[in-house]
Amino acid sequence: MPQRVAIRNLYSTMIAAFILVLSVAALIQFGVSQWRAMWLTIAARPLSDCLQAATGLDGNALKPEDFYLITKTSHYVSPAPHERNVWLREVGIYFRIVSVIEKLVGSQMPAVSEWAHSELLSCAKYAAAVLDQRLNANLAYAADMSRF
């Protein structure tokens, strides 16, 4: 009889642990999906001519390889005082992870290669949108300051 109680308690504990693990995994998946949806929305915004003037890149012809140039330029362009961190560092980490996945399995699996290329392009577009926002914010800030 005591063995049955111990086994029943063990099963109850295992079920509770299993539910906890699944709940945490679902929460993480939701968080990542929400974060990704937010930065993809920013990446879809049209770009102004400021981006081309600052980097020499055409906003309509971005390539995944442009990500590093755009982020480096964005790093050197100080945002206007009201600008905040817009997840550029985190998107850079995501960019590197997807790049590694593409290098490891992209040549054997064309579907993974296409997915990775699409994700890397989205990262480059996001970085371009952030840089464009910063450049436009700096221009607006300079215009406001010139009035004084």
Give the C-alpha separation, 148 to 140, whole Å.
13
* pLDDT in the model for residue 148: 65
Per-residue pLDDT band at 75 (split at 50, 70, 90): confident
Instruction: Give the mean model confidence (pLDDT) for residues 17-31.
Output: 95
Domain extents for the chain? 1-43, 47-146
pLDDT at residue 79 is higher than 60: no
Distance of CA 6 to the CA centre of its chain: 47
Q: What pTM was estimated for this model as a whole?
A: 0.78
Joined tokens for residue 116: 């990775």
Q: Which of 15-19, 49-53, 66-70, 108-112 is the least confident region? A: 49-53
Output phi, psi for 46, to 5 deg. Answer: -70, 150
Residues 6+ apart with CB under 8 A from 58: 52
Is the torsion defined by CA of 13, 14, 19, 24 positive or negative? positive
Express each pLDDT in 80-98 by its tens digit.
Answer: 555 555 788 889 999 999 9
